[in-house]
Structure 1
């Protein structure tokens, strides 16, 4: 999407308006917003690096992962189409707390950090939007990190898939409420998904097969589709909100929980 076309200019203006900017300020800010495209696997930011832009996903998927001691990483957030990300480090003036990597070919809008700071200080509606976004994300990130770091392999696989269900089927800038359909395909190879969940390809396949047998996933020609999106969302929410969740639940227990949530 070249930035100098009327269509691109209109798209940028529309996204800025959604942040609470007035027509005049959105028009003034739009020339500072650039479009960039990245290949799958591109590392946007490394933990400890300065974040120089706030980013918005036009299309694609980006994961935020925290490196662990065994040279692997734990995914704490997956951002999909329509998500802004990177605000926490810009506001706190601290380096990136995670590695941000494109999981697929990704196209983004970038707003310079200096312009973000100015809008945050001078525009109440913009500051309100960002504050609500951060409040939800900080809680979500903390709870997800606990589940993904301390949960057993089975929990990490099911919770990892639930994160993709959220990122692909809902807007990523607020708690999800309304689904856009009953199924959504994850456009990522299963060996990559296994790595993101911190389990072996063999274990990942074992759990995925059982989820598919019970109707929660659809497998075909190497593709993985998440079914009953609303139930996966309910699962993710219940795990984050439940202070006494079982981090060592078996696949049978998690399947039963999915059935219970689906019937609720």
Structure 2
């Protein structure tokens, strides 16, 4: 079985499909490889496929005219993105940039629309998926406007462990401090300080190139006011 088929069959939505419907996806899906810094999707270009991350990391963001970049979220291994844009005709309204070399699964628009038109189970999945995405964005607006750098990093990391969006996340995510900083819109140096503060609070464990979450509920509600002593 190819990595593409393994990704498709292992996705949460695949379990909702009848065999004939899944076969439509399997026949038309294709792979893309995007180098670090390349575009998985690009603002203004036609939204022509639903994308899933087989391996790698994609940062969803919007660039402002003055050069500032507003990051929404990162899509890690096993995650899917772009369904909102495919539910209506038009172009991508944001950029999806590969933070590292990334291997994508792509379901063309016509195959995606076939599932929406014919599969009740797939539509139920989409409702749950979009609700999870909406909850994530509401949280992002909160921490972007109200919280400091430590809490921004905490909430950003917590968002990557949402089981409805990233069912294969486990407890450890392979991210460098630079990548975490890019996703949370915090400088690399400040990200390092935030990670150590969160580690002292007993919420996570930092290793070279990875972060292991020890207390996901704690990360989700972290406001920067926790005691600095480790938890017992």
- Tell whether the structures are fold-level matches, with TM greater than 0.5: yes
* Distance in structure 1 (CA, Å) of the matches to 2:174 and 2:35: 17
1:83-122 equivalences under 5 Å are 83-122=79-118
Deviation at 1:84, TM superposition (A): 1.7
Say whether 1:75 aligns with 2:71: yes
Say whether 1:14 aligns with 2:9: yes
Say whether 1:226 aligns with 2:219: no
Aligned to 1:47, what secondary structure does the other structure show? coil
Structure 2 unaligned blocks of 5 or more: none
Aligned with residue 172 of structure 1, among 149, 165, 173: 165
* Distance in structure 1 (CA, Å) of the matches to 2:106 and 2:14: 15
Deviation at 1:90, TM superposition (A): 0.6
Deviation at 1:19, TM superposition (A): 5.0
Contact 1:75 1:145 in 2 (8 A): no
| Structure-2 residue corresponding to 1:204 | 191
Aligned to 1:121, what secondary structure does the other structure show? helix
Deviation at 1:60, TM superposition (A): 1.9
| Structure-2 residue corresponding to 1:148 | 144
Deviation at 1:32, TM superposition (A): 0.4
Q: Which range is displaced more, 55-64 or 211-220?
A: 211-220
Structure 1 unaligned blocks of 5 or more: 1-5, 240-248
**Shift in alpha-carbon separation, 1:97–1:145, aligned structure 2, 3 A:** farther
| Structure-2 residue corresponding to 1:26 | 22
Larger helix proportion, structure 1 or 2?
Answer: 1
Aligned to 1:131, what secondary structure does the other structure show? helix
Deviation at 1:256, TM superposition (A): 3.8
Aligned residues: 231
Contact 2:201 2:228 in 1 (8 A): no
If you compute each CA radius of gyration, which structure gives the higher value, 1 or 2? 1
Q: TM-score, normalised by structure 2?
A: 0.80
* Distance in structure 2 (CA, Å) of the matches to 1:7 and 1:205: 38
* Distance in structure 2 (CA, Å) of the matches to 1:117 and 1:159: 33
**Shift in alpha-carbon separation, 1:120–1:19, aligned structure 2, 3 A:** farther
